[in-house]
A and B are shown apart, each in its own frame.
Chain A
Amino acid sequence: MDKKGYYGQWGGAFIPEVLYETFRELGRAFEEARSDPDFWPEYLRLMSSYSCRPTPLTHAANLSDHFGGAGIYIKREDLNHTGAHKANNVMGQGLLVKRMGKKRVIAETGAGQHGVATATMAAKFGFACTIYMGEEDVARQRPNVFWMEKLGATVIPVTSGSRTLKDAINEAFRDWVTSMDDTHYVMGTVCGPHPFPEMVAWFQSIIGREARRQILAAHGRLPARVFACVGGGSNAMGIFQGFLDDPEVELIGVEAGGHGIETGQHAARLAGDDGSAGVAQGYKTMFLQDSDGQMRDTHSVAAGLDYVGVSPILSDLWEKKRVRFTAATDREVMAALELTMRKEGIIPALESAHAFVQAFKEAPAMSRGEALIINMSGRGDKDIFTIADAFKDPSWKQFIIDKGRQYAAD
């Protein structure tokens, strides 16, 4: 019996026996696809015709001038179909599902972006689709729930545990242990049991491959630093893979600092000292847990970063000091979001705005000849309710009150 899917001491496949054959089959399908010379070109064709790949690398001239340091470039994953990098992974897994001949897909979702992307893929490929979403996330990401349902998916609010992403993952697994014969679990991030981290990282590597080419064309040389927000870590792994072999490029992962690391209300597994090694949700990584090994409640304004674990690949890169980790607080995120909208006319998702925070902190001290890249993992339109709340926007509030009255009268 061999031990696969380890990155240093992290990863593995801690799965119940009932899923053993399912994982073997998935691993086989993935290996076959990866070694099939026609598969990646087929994937690229799909992503360039159904989504907007390659996504642009935008030179943020106004922000660069504003900070007066490094040239700031933004990798525009928001311009993917469905508005986030999630589509890269989902469409790739969709092609695998077709190869495996399965008819139904299930997924967990936090912010709802992965759920919308999965529902979209299912509609296009003709699969039945069920999305598990924590009750708390259903409440804060209502527009995405609406779209998932309109796309034909069944959205099941998860009421167990902390009612967020980790609980949605548990429920998706509970579905899968019953339904694995005809169902594929479209894991949304570079977490979970092997081969998910490796597979999702492979599909997301499309971001880094493009970004490397694009920055060389735009800037003439490699960037000094690359910033990405880290929830599970799929957008970060996506862009980092373009630069992992370039030691001169510093890679920075930005986690959710929530109300501040010192308050304990955050989701920083690697930045700060609150994370510790553990095994849950099928893999070994750094978790936010108590001394008994019970997972703790996490907090972030960004549902997509509000998660107890982190990619085993990133835990390894953290341990090897290849990726530096920091955290951005909810308050800092709102300020960076506002500045980016005003200066560049770009609306980052709350998740992505975490990466902007750290880039803005570091840009002024960098030299003018240097470049940095921010991976903008998604667009912020989906967050309109949360953002409007945070800005305490009076005219929006009035609009909702009026709308409520109108619905109540119907």
Chain B
Amino acid sequence: MQLTEYLREQKAEKKILLMTHLVLGYPSFEVNREVIRQMVDNGVDLIEMQIPFSEPMADGPVILKANQAAIENGAKVRDCLDLAAEITAAHPIPFLFMTYYNILFKYGVAKFFRKAAAIGIRGFIVPDLPPEEGEEFLALAKEYGIAPIMIYAPTSTEKRMRELAKPGDGFIYCVARRGVTGRKTEFDRDFGDYMARCRRATDLPLAVGFGIGSRQDVDSLIGQADIAVIGTKTIRLVDEQGPAAVGPFIAGLR
């Protein structure tokens, strides 16, 4: 089943879907396994697994540190792919890869798609690859049936959003505000206008990420977005309280 259809089916039963995020190899692959188990057991609808990169330009301090620590701990791309294969086999929900383009480029973009398809990865989020630079990437995404997740930002015009929607599949990742990951987002009137603009530009499900970390945040997205994305918050939680804290936190989000 295509990712978009899966999301629509899930959305028919729930007010809002949850996508969570983690950095592979941080703090360790062992903890990754436990965190993912807790996330799945507590009902998240899909998970983005970030393959660490040394220059994560769009990420804030917490995820930046997680990327660098994972690499320093010796996490190789190969190890991340191995873990991903194990995870997708063990859990029934869709998994996506999030990473920066150089990871694909160095691996070989076609080879990376082949590998990801074999593992059963359902989508890619690559924040430093605009469609203008992604000709090969987009063609391969189509060929392998892996959804290329396009990104909207509050600075995107409606015209730009319509252009981005064309090659997009799966869902659209709407960056909730300017800036990098990890800081609080205000869900004010400007935000509502932005979401309305996103909704007009595409029929694809809308995910909202950046700065979402509480039930209140998730509630405020109901009716405006299809998917709430929890990123930095769970990394902080694992840092501070260990992986066992993730399950109760997720369970309390909706």
Q: Which residues of A contact B179 (CB under 8 A)?
A: 174, 177-178
Given contacts A17-B152, A18-B153, contact A280 B100 (CB under 8 A): yes
Contact of B130 with A292 in the complex, beta carbons under 8 Å = no
A294 to B107, CA, bound (A): 11
A3 to B64, CA, bound (A): 29
Contact of B133 with A21 in the complex, beta carbons under 8 Å = no
Contact of A22 with B155 in the complex, beta carbons under 8 Å = yes
Q: Which of A12, A18, A279, A295 contacts B54 (CB 8 A)?
A: A295
Return A312 CB to nearest CB of chain B, in Å: 13
B203 part of interface (Cβ distance < 8 Å): no
Contact of A180 with B65 in the complex, beta carbons under 8 Å = no
Contact of A280 with B153 in the complex, beta carbons under 8 Å = no
A3 to B100, CA, bound (A): 19
Contact of B106 with A289 in the complex, beta carbons under 8 Å = yes
Q: Which of B54, B160, B180 contacts A174 (CB 8 A)?
A: B180
Q: Which residues of B contact A292 (CB under 8 A)?
A: 76-77, 103, 106-107
Contact of A293 with B106 in the complex, beta carbons under 8 Å = yes
B58 part of interface (Cβ distance < 8 Å): yes
Contact of A16 with B153 in the complex, beta carbons under 8 Å = yes
A130 to B36, CA, bound (A): 40
Q: Which residues of B contact A277 (CB under 8 A)?
A: 105
Chain A window 1-27, contacts with chain B (Cβ cutoff 8 Å), 1 for yes, 0 for no: 111000000001111111111100000
Contact residues of B between 104 and 128, Cβ < 8 Å to A: 105-107, 127-128
Return A93 CB to nearest CB of chain B, in Å: 21
Chain B window 76-101, contacts with chain A (Cβ cutoff 8 Å), 1 for yes, 0 for no: 11000000000000000000000011
B196 part of interface (Cβ distance < 8 Å): no
Which of A1, A18, A279, A282 gathers most chain B CB within 10 Å? A18
B188 part of interface (Cβ distance < 8 Å): no
A170 part of interface (Cβ distance < 8 Å): yes
A227 part of interface (Cβ distance < 8 Å): no
Contact of B156 with A177 in the complex, beta carbons under 8 Å = no
Given contacts A160-B65, A280-B55, contact A17 B180 (CB under 8 A): no
Contact of B128 with A14 in the complex, beta carbons under 8 Å = yes
Q: Which residue of B lies closest to A295 (CB)?
A: B54
Q: Which residue of A lies closest to B71 (CB)?
A: A294
Chain A window 172-183, contacts with chain B (Cβ cutoff 8 Å), 1 for yes, 0 for no: 011001111000
Contact of A18 with B53 in the complex, beta carbons under 8 Å = no
Contact of B101 with A20 in the complex, beta carbons under 8 Å = no
Contact of A14 with B101 in the complex, beta carbons under 8 Å = yes
Return B89 CB to nearest CB of chain A, in Å: 23
Contact of B106 with A17 in the complex, beta carbons under 8 Å = no
Chain B window 118-148, contacts with chain A (Cβ cutoff 8 Å), 1 for yes, 0 for no: 0000000001111111010000000000000
Number of contact residues on A: which range applies?
35 or more
Return B193 CB to nearest CB of chain A, in Å: 16
A291 part of interface (Cβ distance < 8 Å): yes
Contact of A291 with B153 in the complex, beta carbons under 8 Å = no
Contact of B57 with A17 in the complex, beta carbons under 8 Å = no
Q: Which residues of A contact B101 (CB under 8 A)?
A: 14, 279
Chain A window 282-298, contacts with chain B (Cβ cutoff 8 Å), 1 for yes, 0 for no: 10000001011111000
Q: Which residues of A contact B135 (CB under 8 A)?
A: 3
A281 part of interface (Cβ distance < 8 Å): yes
Chain B window 139-182, contacts with chain A (Cβ cutoff 8 Å), 1 for yes, 0 for no: 00000000000011111110010011000000000010011100
Q: Which residues of A contact B175 (CB under 8 A)?
A: 17-18
A294 to B163, CA, bound (A): 32
Q: Which residues of B contact A68 (CB under 8 A)?
A: none
A278 part of interface (Cβ distance < 8 Å): yes
Contact of A293 with B103 in the complex, beta carbons under 8 Å = yes
Given contacts A17-B152, A177-B58, contact A293 B163 (CB under 8 A): no
Q: Which residues of A contact B151 (CB under 8 A)?
A: 16-17
Contact of A293 with B105 in the complex, beta carbons under 8 Å = yes
Q: Which residues of A contact B202 (CB under 8 A)?
A: none
Contact of A174 with B60 in the complex, beta carbons under 8 Å = yes
Contact of A295 with B57 in the complex, beta carbons under 8 Å = no
Contact residues of A between 160 and 176, Cβ < 8 Å to B: 160-161, 166, 170, 173-174
B102 part of interface (Cβ distance < 8 Å): yes
Q: Which residues of A contact B129 (CB under 8 A)?
A: 14
Which of A160, A170, A289, A292 gathers most chain B CB within 10 Å? A292
Q: Which residues of B are in contact with A by a Cβ distance under 8 Å?
A: 53-58, 60-61, 64-65, 68, 71, 76-77, 100-103, 105-107, 127-133, 135, 151-157, 160, 163-164, 175, 178-180
A-B interface, 3 closest residue pairs, ranked by CB to CB distance from nearest: A293-B106, A18-B153, A178-B179
Q: Which residues of A are in contact with B by a Cβ distance under 8 Å?
A: 1-3, 12-22, 160-161, 166, 170, 173-174, 177-180, 276-282, 289, 291-295
Please name 27 pairs of A and B residues whose Cβ atoms are closer than 8 Å in the assembled complex, sorted by A. A1-B163, A12-B133, A13-B133, A14-B128, A15-B128, A16-B151, A17-B153, A17-B164, A17-B175, A18-B58, A18-B155, A20-B155, A20-B156, A160-B65, A166-B55, A170-B55, A174-B57, A177-B180, A178-B180, A278-B105, A279-B101, A281-B57, A282-B57, A289-B106, A293-B77, A293-B102, A293-B105
Other contacts beyond A20-B130, A170-B57: 15, CB < 8 A? A3-B135, A13-B132, A14-B133, A16-B57, A17-B155, A18-B58, A18-B154, A20-B153, A20-B160, A161-B54, A161-B55, A180-B155, A277-B105, A279-B128, A292-B76
